[in-house]
Amino acid sequence: KVQKQEEDVNIRKRPRMDVETNDTFSDKAVPESSKISQENEIGKKHELKEESLWSTKEISVTYPGAGKLPHIIGGSDLIAHHARKNTELEEWLRQEMEVQNQHAKEESLADDLFRYNPYLKRRR
């Protein structure tokens, strides 16, 4: 952890370098101390690259929504949305339910008629 904290302290933004002239794009003069620190950082980066060849380092990457509570659906989210009631559909469903109930009654009556068992055991 201490090494990571030290690395975090040393990391800072540097101005972009021009490849051809090896100079910064900005017109501002870079102080000598920062040039020396840049050279030190370049050397450190080279050392880190060599280290990274031999050791694998896990980098934690945050996923979207990591700082918030999860949005869990439930309750009223799961209830079907009825903007307006469709009366034709409801009427058709009611009729179908009545027809099915009628068929069930007829089948149970037919089963009762043909399920005659003369040797029915009575409870004592």
62 or 19, which is more confident?
62
pLDDT at 71: 76
- Give the tokens for residue 118: 């003369």
Provide the whole-model pTM.
0.28
> How far apart are alpha carbons 45 and 96 in whole angstroms?
77
**For every residue of 79-101, which 3-state class applies, written as one string?**
CCCCCCCCHHHHHHHHHHHHHHH
pLDDT bracket for residue 93 (50, 70, 90): very high
| Residue 24: partners with Cβ closer than 8 Å, 6 or more residues away | 15, 16, 17, 18, 30
pLDDT bracket for residue 103 (50, 70, 90): very high
pLDDT digits (tens, 9 = 90+) for 41-68: 666 665 655 555 555 667 777 777 777 8
78 or 97, which is more confident?
97
pLDDT at 123: 66
pLDDT at 34: 53
Mean of the pLDDT values across residues 11-38? Answer: 54
pLDDT at 65: 74
Mean of the pLDDT values across residues 72-86? Answer: 68
The answer to whether residues 14 and 38 touch, using CB atoms and an 8 Å cutoff, is yes
Q: How far is CA 34 from CA 4, 12, 39, 45, in A?
A: 22, 11, 9, 16
pLDDT at 32: 47
